[in-house]
Structure formats: C-alpha cells, structure tokens
Amino acid sequence: MKKITLKDIAEVTGLSINSVSRALKDKDSISLETRKMVQQVAKDMGYIPNSLASSMRSGRTDSIAIILGEMVNPYNAYLMNHLTTHLHDRGYTTLMFVTNQRRSHEERAVQTAISKNVDAIISATQLRPDNLELIMNHHIPFVQIGLVSMKPAFCQVSKDEYHSGYIAARHLLLKGHRRILNIIFPEKHFAFSHERIRGIRQAYAEFNVPFDEKLVYTYYREETVRTIIARALEETPSFTAVIAGNDVLAWQVVETLESKGIRVPQDCGVIGFDDLHSFISVPYVLTSVASNLSDLTHHAIDMLMAQLDNEITTPRMYIESTYLVEGETT
C-alpha cells in the first residue's frame, strides 16, 4: 500500500504542501475551517505523520513528560487524565512517571525525561531543588502544578491555598466550632500547607478566636491517621472539628472517629480538600474545598505551550480560585 504524503493531501485539497503541513499542526495561521477540512482528508486517506522526520526538522519530539508523586489519591489519577487528554488533543504524546515520593525514583524520572528529549515537563509533585536545577540547566520548558513557592523561579499553576484554608476554617467557625484539629502535611516540605495555615489563622482572627498551636498535627507517611487521632484524643480531647490535608485523609478521619463512637457530624465535623466526591463514588459526601480541575490543567498546558513558542521567557504564576462544597460531614 502506497504511503500517503503531504504532497498527496495537497493534491486532493488544492492547497500548497506548506499550508497542508501547517493545517495538520493546527496552526492559527490557517483558518479553522481549512484546518478541519485538511485534517479530515488526511484521516480519510490514512495519513500517518513521520514523527522522526518531523523531529529532525523541528528539533522537537512532540512528547511531554508528566511527573506525579503518587497515585493513591484519586485526585492525581483525574489530574493525569485531564492532562493527557488535553495534550493528546494538541498532538502530543505523554510519558508518565510516578515517584512514590522517593528521591531515587524522582531522580530517575527527571533524568529519563531529559534523555528521551521530551519537549517539556509538567510536575504535579514538588521536585527537589537539584532535580529542578537539572531541568532548568537543560532549558526544558517546565510547569509546576501545585504550590511550591509564592515567588517561584519557574512557571507555576496552583489552587489558592490561602483561601482554601480560610474558607474551611470560616465554615467551621460559623457553625460554632472553636476547637478545630488541623492535620496538615509538613510545612517545611509543602508550601501549600504553610499557606493553608495562614488562611486558617486569618479566619480565627476575624472571629476573635485564639489559634491553638497544640491543635496542629503534622501527617507523615510513617504515621497513620488512626494514630494521629488517638494521640489528639489523648492530648487535646476537646476538639469538635477536624480540617484534614485532603479528602483521602478526611475519609480516614471519619472512619477512625466513628470506630471510637464519635459521630460525624453530630459530635465532630470533618472537612477535606479536593472534592473527590465529584470524581468517584463514596459512601458519604465529605464537606470539602474544591477547585476547577479542568481550568487548572488548561492553564498549565497553555503556560507550557507559551514557553514552547517562546511567548513566555520569565516565570509566571496562575492561581485558581477555590470554593467550599458542603457535604454530610459538617
């Protein structure tokens, strides 16, 4: 069977080879109507682009690496799905790496992505400084999803973590809670935890309620939510609500409290983050702080494309607004 070329498509459509090429690459310089027509003709003719030749001419591989910290949280699976869908729609292939929050896995992911000559890297986990430096030194377009720094040296797309903490605490304070247990990820390693606590403090200040540092418990992977709740019940048993670091932790909090005969929300309210109820089926609907995941990924990809087209040469930051979804746990 004869291999279909750009010349063949040009003859059928009556366009120049250059115009056909630009239409297949979805370039704005070609009208949308013409692009759709050329793409349909190419599909009908069975055209398969020569990716190797294209890569040699353009210096690009049309591939983008996506780095995730873990896949235990369903939020990451849906984030990955959004990213790959949008990137594939734009003609890119994706390489996925999961670090499992291990230094060696992260190093291997970054080094492999670079060795594969990917056009760009998106990371939805906080990379270590030496790995970030390696990416920057290779001048690879990069976007961080998730708050790493309020003054990043690279492009970053994040939820408004300060506002997230604020609206979570304000919701509970409005319901009369004054002793709120906070289960956070380590502030030293995760900038979003620091910003959430700032927001929580602001809500307390507006209600003239003192913020009790003893009610802040840091979640480390080595410790379970069950042991944290057990410690809290022993050390500060007067808490009447819990703000958990994400919905996965919040579910575990609810299960642990109820196993100890503490009713949710009658005896203790619980709030999480990410609104996983909108993604998956759950036995009960958590009150949760949510954001528009589709908007977040669109902005991340737009920022990446702008770097690839040299429209962005300095670090940019986009903050996605957040809102409260009231469920059955407050």
Q: Which domains does the chain have, with CATH numbers?
A: 6-49 (no CATH), 61-160+293-322 (3.40.50.2300), 161-291 (3.40.50.2300)
Structure confidence at residue 152 (pLDDT) = 76
Tokens of 237: 């048993």
Question: Is the pLDDT score of 65 beyond 90?
Answer: yes
Structure confidence at residue 203 (pLDDT) = 98
Percent of the chain with pLDDT over 70: 96
What is the C-alpha to C-alpha distance for residues 68 and 82, in angstroms, rounded to an integer?
A: 13
Cβ burial of 59 (10 Å; 0-12, 13-18, 19+) is: exposed
Query: How many angstroms from the chain centroid is the CA of residue 9?
Result: 39
What is the C-alpha to C-alpha distance for residues 147 and 281, in angstroms, rounded to an integer?
A: 28
Structure confidence at residue 178 (pLDDT) = 97
Give the count of beta carbons closer than 10 Å to the beta carbon of residue 298: 16
Structure confidence at residue 56 (pLDDT) = 45
151-160, 169-178, 186-195: range with highest mean pLDDT: 169-178
What is the C-alpha to C-alpha distance for residues 108 and 60, in angstroms, rounded to an integer?
A: 22
Percent of the chain with pLDDT over 90: 65
Question: Is the pLDDT score of 185 beyond 50?
Answer: yes
pLDDT tens digit sequence for 4-24: 888 889 999 999 888 888 888
Per the rule left: phi > 0, alpha: psi between -120 and 50, beta: everything else, 116 is: alpha
Is 92 in contact with 102 (CB distance < 8 Å)? no
Model pTM?
0.81
Structure confidence at residue 59 (pLDDT) = 59
